[in-house]
Amino acid sequence: MKNSDLKVFVRERAGLWLNEKYDAETRDKVKDLLENNEQELIESFYRDLEFGTGGLRGIMGVGTNRVNNYTIGMATQGLSNYLKKEFKDIPQIKVAVAHDSRNNSRRFAEITASIFSANGFKVYLFDDLRPTPELSFAIRYFRCQAGVVITASHNPKEYNGYKAYWNDGGQIIAPHDKLIIREVQQIRSIDDVNFEAKKENIETIGHEFDDIYTDQITNLSLSHDIIKKQNGFRILYTPLHGSGVRLVPMVLEKFGFANVITVPEQNVIDGNFPTVHSPNPEDSSALSMAIEKAKETEAELILATDPDADRVGIVIRDHSGEYLILNGNQAAALLVHYLLNRWTETGRIKGNEFIVKTIVTTDLLSDMARKFRVSCYNVLTGFKYIADIIRQFEGKKTFIAGGEESYGYLAGDFVRDKDAVISCALIAEAAAYEKENGRTLFDKLLAIYKEYGFYKERLISLIRKGKTGTEEIQQMMLNFRKNPPASIGNSKVIEILDYLDSKSLDKARLLNNGISIPKSDVLQIFTKDGTKISVRPSGTEPKIKFYFAVKDSLRSIHDYSRTNDRLERKIDGILKELNLD
């Protein structure tokens, strides 16, 4: 579309939002864009905000390409229409609705609940912000057909979103995802949306339900007696202004930890996230206030959850007493190894257990699974695929743990999404277990590297916002497909996997123990020396992500620094070679 045509198209679309069917505040904001901000007008109206396979996520504001009362409403009506078709034989469809601490989240949650109720559904609406994993648990507990949580996870403050869940408590996957998208796309006007709530259909879920959820988590403890001995273990926790503020300390207390320190400034529920640039525990700057507080209090472990408390950042102390921020792969390795080891020590391994990881998560987890004689399944990026494997094996095999490099982990099967509340408790328990045995988590990490090899990973994300950014990301993926490198880091490329076309020099790699991996816009490049590079556009943010994984042996724990530096330089060299430095 020519630029002049685009401007006409956008102004026509925006003009429809001046109709009195839209509230006065919305009309005023649209009018201001029409008169004063052409570029923002284009970004707000040049397309419909896409309802993707996970729901909606975008910048809040007026317009068809923004998260607001009306795009939330149209998404909810489309989902409602699909649920009525899919569960036509059920007397009353049930759904659960939750939200996090973001600006407008409560309002969007109430709108969502109102529309569901107007469509005749029984709605369980949480009375206040809650962790996303508690929503997953609620769906299963109340035997709902679906659920929605209003959140943009760890995105910056201007974002919000809408995550849709199915009756197993997991995020929606095929075939329902595409069919729901089709229903949402058929909602062309807010006239198609039933906003008139039937309040008698809405039941408020209060704090009593938190005890049910947290009691289930407490049952996951594998070292209760050890925690009794180490109950003074100093833990510093921050919710980063988010929904973990009550439940994470509650669970730590139920596990038996009596010395949990918090960061008062970050206990404040505020969707502007005033103490951090971005409420993302993957961003080291988000942890700076917690680290300073930990230094003051001599905390032995730092835990930080994102706004909807499904991801957790972990900081431990190294041999010099300095605080070391773990990446997602290191945290996953420590958590999964602890669980595999304790399941073995307590006689729980019977021969049909399994773990699950994503294809971009460290292969160290696969190595550990082999050693402990449990199965390891690889799935696409996105915890919904881990949840799907749990569902497939329900009643047949026993799920121990799942993890992804982006700080998301799960143990137990009563939740079907990554759960930072569970993860915080079990990581703290793992730390107490190591302390009881005269070690730290850093000692354990080095021991793992010495036994299995030193795995080093790094994630590089290139942000490309707006319409031009989307086109640039698409072009970058096309270039990699058309002109893949013949060698990387002086090592020959021996295999390239293209998950979009299901093409590979060895198609068997697309299968793992009989689990087929669906098509997705992901490329993986493998070299002769064991280097692995994965490239994919983010499904939730305007980014293209590059995952680098290299490996070397660690002969002695005293060689840690030298080996770490050598692997860092290797990744630096690869970045330079690919013009990503």
Determine the angle formed by the axes of helices 38-45 and 466-482, rounding to 10 degrees: 60
Amino acid type, 26: T
Residues forming a β-bridge with 532:
526, 549
Which among 95, 99, 56, 61 has a CA at the least distance from the CA of 74? 56
Residue 63 DSSP symbol: S
The answer to whether 390 and 416 are in contact (CB under 8 A) is yes
Cα separation, 90 vs 84, in Å, equals 9
Peptide bond just before 485 cis, omega within 30 deg: no
Cα separation, 465 vs 482, in Å, equals 24
The answer to whether 276 and 265 are in contact (CB under 8 A) is no
Q: What tokens appear for 426 in the block?
A: 């079990």
In 307-374, beta strands by DSSP E: 312-317, 323-325, 353-358
Cα separation, 205 vs 209, in Å, equals 7
Question: Is 4 assigned a catalytic role?
Answer: no
Residues forming a β-bridge with 166:
146
Cα separation, 298 vs 465, in Å, equals 41
Q: Quickly list DSSP for 360-418.
A: TS-THHHHHHHHTT-EEEEE-SSHHHHHHHHHHTTTTSEEEEEEETTTEEEESSS--S-
The answer to whether 305 and 423 are in contact (CB under 8 A) is no
Contacts of 239 (CB under 8 A, 6+ apart): 245, 248, 266, 267, 304, 305, 309
Q: Give backbone dihedrals phi and psi of 578, rounded to 5 degrees, phi first.
A: -95, 10
Cα separation, 577 vs 581, in Å, equals 8
Residue 556 DSSP symbol: -
**54 to each of 180, 232, 383, 521, 539, how far by Cα in Å?**
10, 41, 10, 15, 8
Write down the catalytic residue from 101, 153, 221, 366. Answer: 153
The answer to whether 60 and 72 are in contact (CB under 8 A) is no
SS (H, E, C) 223-286: CHHHHHHCCCCCEEEECCCCCCCCHHHHHHHHHCCCCEEECHHHCCCCCCCCCCCCCCCCCHHH
Cα 369 to chain centroid, rounded:
23
The answer to whether 543 and 466 are in contact (CB under 8 A) is no
Question: Catalytic residue numbers?
Answer: 153
